[in-house]
Amino acid sequence: MCSICGYIWEFQLKSIGKIKTLGKNIMPDMISVENIDEKSDGQRIDNFFFKRFKGVPKSHIYQLLRSGQVRVNSKRINADYRLQQNDKVRIPPIRISQSCSVQDIRKMAKPHPITFEVLFEDEWLLAINKPSGIAVHGGSGISHGVIEQLRICYPNWKFLELVHRLDRETSGVLLLAKKRSALVEVHRQIREGSVQKRYCVLVRGKWCNTKQSVKLSLNKYVTADGERRVTVVSGKREDRKELSSHTVFILKKNWQNFSLLEAELKTGRTHQIRVHLAHLGFPIAGDNKYGDFALNKQLMKGEQGFSLKRMFLHASSFDLIHPATGKYIHLEAPLSDDLTVFLHRLDEDTIPTEDGNHPLL
């Protein structure tokens, strides 16, 4: 699997030394010293190296730090040292593991450009309406995600990082920071629970409660084939790490066998909404990990005129305090056309089958 995406190849490797022939390992031919600017101010030194040298094992980076080969202002530092503007970082020769073929690199160096709907932008923040089916960042066989696409489109931006993440199949509000100070401040708001993130979600089944608060302990694990999964756990065990999670669900509309909910995240665990709803017996329509697979198959085929080819989970809004101005910001992303059409189809269907029931509704 390729560990260096096209963007890194084109832009980042230029800054770490001489690039040798494609297909061979890459190593700067001398020690370099880098002056830290605003975009890296406040970043941990280990994370600085992880981001800069994507092809290098983390264990090797830590070995360089422990051995003193990496220095800041001519002094040895620990891995948790936070960089400050105008620090001078000594970067030793580093060999990058090159597992990509020349063909892989050339293919990834030319990503198909994607235009994102911009919901908000100023010199500190950027908010877009992320389409379904696009990962927020590269990895796990994905060469270019949202962040890589944006960096390629705006190479002159000194800093651009994701404030939070959305699953690949989830659409809606995605917030990015254009300054490290903005990233740190919004992360503080997220940790303290002062932001509000709401999602629009369609589930199988007739939801009864107008408002329901769900608190469950979750456990993350990886399947034998490397797929990331989350499950609800009960009872504490020393051999696993349990994560508390909290979602508030509000009923927006009912149909015979579907319900439209608003989900407000109080915590932001991986797959939290999906796992909560599946555990309660209300799987999300189109969820290919935790959903009703028979129903999903019907929806994919468009049986009885009901077609849904994605998961019905949409990040509808994100409320926060602007990290620089202190003003309240409400970010909102409209539903995509395919989700809107599906809801209209539910409203329009009033014709029962011979037995008085609809197979889907």
317-329 residue pLDDT tens: 999 999 999 999 9
The helix or strand, by DSSP H or E, that contains position 103, with its residue range, turns out to be helix 102-108
Q: What is the pLDDT of residue 337?
A: 92
Among all chains, which residue has been given the structure tokens 């960089």? 83
pLDDT at site 299: 93
Half-sphere exposure (Cβ direction) of 177: Cα atoms closer than 13 Å: 20
The encoded tokens of residue 33 equal 């010293």
What CATH class does 109-185 carry?
alpha beta
Give the pLDDT confidence score for residue 154 in this predicted structure: 86
pLDDT value at residue 240: 67
pLDDT in tens, 281-322: 999 999 999 999 999 999 999 887 889 999 999 999 999 999
> What is the per-residue DSSP string for 216-237?
EEEEEEE-TTS-EEEEEE-S--
Tell me the whole-structure pTM to 2 decimals: 0.70
- Is a pLDDT exceeding 90 seen at residue 30? no
Instruction: Read off the pLDDT of each residue in 131-135 and give the average, rounded to a whole number.
Output: 93
Nearest-angstrom CA–CA distance, 108 and 133: 18
> Using one digit for the tens of pLDDT, what is the confidence trace for 219-264?
988 887 778 899 999 766 666 678 999 999 999 999 998 999 999 9
Quote the radius of gyration of the chain (alpha carbons, Å): 23
Write down the domain spans for the chain: 6-91, 109-185, 195-216+242-348
Catalytic residue (one of 167, 319, 337, 355): 167
Query: Which candidate, 165, 105, 155, 161, places its Cα nearest to that of 135?
Result: 165
Q: What is the pLDDT of residues 82-100, one digit of tens each?
A: 998 889 999 888 765 444 4
What tokens does 185 get?
Answer: 């401040």
Determine the Cα–Cα distance for residues 317 and 332; give it in Å rounded to an integer. Answer: 4
**Across the chain, what does the average pLDDT equal?**
82
Confidence at residue 218, expressed as pLDDT on a 0 to 100 scale: 94
Give the residue-averaged pLDDT of 114-124. 92
What's the confidence (pLDDT) of residue 89? 92
Task: Give whole-number Cα distances, 178 to 66, 160, 162, 191, in Å.
Answer: 32, 5, 9, 20
In percent, the amount of the chain with pLDDT more than 70 equals: 80
Note the pLDDT tens digit of each residue in 162-182. 999 999 999 999 999 999 999
Rounded to the nearest 10 degrees, what angle do helices 58-67 and 45-52 cross at? 130
Q: Per residue in 201-215, pLDDT tens?
A: 999 999 999 999 999
Report DSSP state, residue 8: I
Q: What is the distance between the alpha carbons of residues 112 and 168, in angstroms, rounded to a whole number?
A: 17
Tokens 């059409």 — which residue? 341
**Tell me, which fold does domain 6-91 have in CATH?**
3.10.290
Residue 35: half-sphere exposure toward Cβ, Cα within 13 Å: 2
What per-residue confidence (pLDDT) applies to 17? 36
Give whole-number Cα distances, 117 to 120, 121, 131, in Å. 9, 11, 9
Give the β-pairing of 32-35 and 88-91. Answer: antiparallel
Q: What is the mean pLDDT of residues 111-128?
A: 87
Report the number of secondary-structure helices (H) and strands (E) in the chain: 9, 15
Determine the pLDDT at residue 113: 61
Contacts of 300 (CB under 8 A, 6+ apart): 307, 308, 309
pLDDT reported for residue 241: 77
pLDDT bracket for residue 141 (50, 70, 90): low
Domain 195-216+242-348, classified CATH 3.30.300.20, yes or no: no
Q: Which residue has the higher pLDDT, 260 or 156?
A: 260
Structure-token match 């017996």, residue found: 281
- Quote the tokens at residue 255: 């149909």
How far, in whole angstroms, is CA 133 from its chain's centroid? 12
From CA 103, how far away is CA 107, in angstroms rounded? 6
Q: Is 29 a catalytic residue?
A: no
**How confident is residue 354, by pLDDT bands cut at 50, 70 and 90?**
very low
- Tell me, what's the pLDDT at 237? 66
Section 52-70 average pLDDT: 84
Q: Do 6-91 and 195-216+242-348 come out as alike in CATH topology?
A: no
Buried b (16+ CB within 10 A) or exposed e, 237-252: eeeeebeebbbebebe
- SS3 (DSSP) at 177: strand
The token pair that represents 271 in the structure block: 């797959």
